[in-house]
Amino acid sequence: MQFLIFMLFTALVGIISYFATRSTNEKTQDGYFLGGRSLTGVVIAGSLLLTNLSTEQLVGLNGSAFKEGIVVMAWETLAAITMVVAALVLLPRYLKGGLTTVPQFLERRYDTTTKSIASVLFLSGYMVVLLPIVLYSGAIALIGMFDLTSLMGVDQTTALYITVWSIGLIGSIYAIFGGLKAVAVSDTLNAVGLLIGGMLVPMFGLLYVGEGNIIQGIEVLVANHPEKFLAKGGPDSAIPFGTLFTGMILVQLFYWGTNQAIIQRALAAKNLKEGQKGLLIAAFIKILGPIIVVLPGIIALHVFGDTLETGQGDQSYGLLVNRVLPPTLLGFFAAVLFGAILSSFNSALNSSVTLFGLDVYKQYINKEADEQKVVRSGKMFGILLALFSMLIAPTIANAPEGLFGYLQEINGCYTIPILTIILVGYMTKYVPAYAAKIAILMGSLLYTFSQFFLKDYVLSRGGTYPHYLHVMAILFTFNVLLMLVIGRIWPRKEGYIQVYTKQVDITPWRYVKPLGLVITLIVISTYFVFA
């Protein structure tokens, strides 16, 4: 019965997505890559949330909460503030330029080589890190929920391969053959289901802990684990409090303001008003994120603390779902969880297809290609990338402790350098292209050397090393100053002026500033509540 419900809900999402997108002309670049620039605020918000919320968060962030407590909520709550910044500062500039990809701005502001370097870094991050980890974490979640090893009569490794390839093939169909609008519509439908299912897990978890009373369940958790409800992280925690004002805010700004897989949803807005609505709706919901991706981890600690070690936290979410959800709801939740997995996979894949088609194929392989050829080349690349991800995902079986933190640390190799050159590019007029090239290469190399060579060397000799979020902030500051100095000594001959392409209306939403202020105050208040 559970498996039947799972299959029916998954099929329903696919059917609705097909009928919702069949009228879109996906033979054109805007049609395929940006859904014809037709997305509304609600669809954008749903797609943003589902693209972000997947098993690397449900499994990884709850796993971190199992060990660290509510301090890890910073990954959710601070996101809301940076989404406000993206809506007010970055999105108007993106839509004014009629951008399809973030690297396109880098080409206009700097030069083609800078754009190409950024595109390669984006593609490398998606190919080597994000796509395989999404497939792997999703597979282990579904295997645990359905006990697929017993159901299929195979061992753990075989079940892992089967599940990875099933997720990968279905996600590829959405992303490669449906284009962005199919991805966005399916995301919105799954977002509703995931929000419902995600809220049910902590609700039933609290009922379980409180023996039928939610309030009593909260009281039991606070009484038995008071240290897990302190938002201010100490020096040895996963997120020391000081990092909220350094690297954490930079990582969030990159993710919500410049990450192609995320901001592409807002770039597809029918106008600036709808784009800003989508970002702020998502920001409001993001504030409630800790209820879904943090609280279950603390509940799991109370329920399984005697049987699971802290290093096994990534297993806690699936175990909790199996323990507390009624059997009738397990199939539904597995379906929306499957949708979340697909969302992150197909969103990153769709963005990779976009980057390759426009920034690699059109630029270097076939400059004379028409729009249909560009779309077709992107689809072929997407197929190859999907196959590559499905091949290597099962090899992450020995994933490091704390999957979510590990993912964030590795992403630093390209996130901060790209953020640096984008912000400097928008905020200055005379910083030249070679300053951007130096900054992006220096940022990537120095961060890689710092975290994967120097750090191990220092720690092995009994020394102390700054948190990776502090390292990000230090390198960001260094690269910004480096670019400004180069721009002062060897400035561009002519100042950069952004041209309004008039592809969409860029009149701002009248409520964007007051609602942005409200969101910011709510986030700050949250930290006072859990101080």
3-state helix, strand and coil shares in percent for the chain, rounded to the nearest 5: 80, 0, 20
325: left (phi over 0), alpha (psi -120 to 50) or beta: beta
> Which residue reads 């802290």 in tokens?
310
For the chain, the distance separating the N- and C-terminal CA atoms, rounded to the nearest angstrom, is 45
Look at residue 263 in the predicted model and tell me its pLDDT.
81
Q: Reduced to 3 states, what is the DSSP secondary structure of residue 269?
A: strand
Domain spans of the chain, in order of start = 2-10+39-393+403-529
Look at residue 7 in the predicted model and tell me its pLDDT.
62
Q: Tell me how far CA of residue 437 lies from CA of 9, 107, 113, 433, 486, in angstroms.
A: 48, 12, 8, 6, 11
Give 269's strand partners.
39
Q: For 21-61, what is each residue's pLDDT tens digit?
A: 455 444 444 444 444 566 788 888 877 877 777 777 787 78
Identify the residue with better confidence: 404 or 94.
94
Rounded (10°) angle between helices 260-267 and 41-52? 170
Identify the residue with better confidence: 71 or 351.
71
pLDDT higher than 60, residue 1: no
DSSP string, 384-399: HHHHHHHHHGGGGGGP
Under the banding of pLDDT at 50, 70 and 90, the label for residue 126 is confident
With contact defined as beta carbons under 8 Å apart, do 280 and 87 qualify?
yes
CA atoms within 13 A on the CB side of 284: 13
State what percent of residues in the chain have pLDDT above 70: 85
What type of residue sits at position 380?
Answer: M
Under the banding of pLDDT at 50, 70 and 90, the label for residue 2 is low
Q: In the CATH hierarchy, which top-level class contains the domain 2-10+39-393+403-529?
A: mainly alpha
pLDDT higher than 70, residue 174: no
Look at residue 4 in the predicted model and tell me its pLDDT.
65
With contact defined as beta carbons under 8 Å apart, do 139 and 167 qualify?
yes
Worst-scoring range by mean pLDDT, 294-298, 437-441, 470-474, 499-503?
Answer: 499-503
Identify the residue with better confidence: 517 or 28.
517
Q: Reduced to 3 states, what is the DSSP secondary structure of residue 393?
A: helix
pLDDT higher than 90, residue 280: yes
* CB atoms inside a 10 Å sphere around CB 517: 11
With contact defined as beta carbons under 8 Å apart, do 314 and 100 qualify?
no
Identify the residue with better confidence: 234 or 18.
234
Q: Reduced to 3 states, what is the DSSP secondary structure of residue 249?
A: helix
Under the banding of pLDDT at 50, 70 and 90, the label for residue 504 is confident
Burial of 227 (0-12, 13-18, 19+ CB in 10 A): exposed
Highest mean pLDDT pick, 29-33, 158-162, 221-225, 321-325? 221-225
pLDDT higher than 90, residue 216: yes
What type of residue sits at position 236?
Answer: D
Identify the residue with better confidence: 518 or 308.
518
Mean pLDDT of 489-514: 90
Q: How far apart are CA 368 and CA 381, in angstroms?
A: 18
Mean pLDDT of 173-177: 62
Mean pLDDT of 153-163: 84
Mean pLDDT of 188-203: 79
Average pLDDT value for the chain: 82
Look at residue 37 in the predicted model and tell me its pLDDT.
62
With contact defined as beta carbons under 8 Å apart, do 230 and 63 qualify?
no
Worst-scoring range by mean pLDDT, 34-38, 186-190, 309-313, 374-378?
Answer: 34-38
Q: Would the CA dihedral through 255, 259, 261, 266 be positive or negative? A: positive
pLDDT higher than 70, residue 181: no
DSSP string, 461-530: TT-----HHHHHHHHHHHHHHHHHHHHHHS--SS--------SSB-PPPTTHHHHHHHHHHHHHHHHHHT
| Residue 523: both structure tokens together | 């986030």
Look at residue 185 in the predicted model and tell me its pLDDT.
61
Look at residue 34 in the predicted model and tell me its pLDDT.
47
pLDDT higher than 90, residue 397: no
> Which residue reads 């497939």 in tokens?
135
With contact defined as beta carbons under 8 Å apart, do 196 and 340 qualify?
no
Residues 6+ apart with CB under 8 A from 262: 48, 51, 52, 255, 256, 347
| Residue 414: both structure tokens together | 């390209």
pLDDT higher than 80, residue 189: no
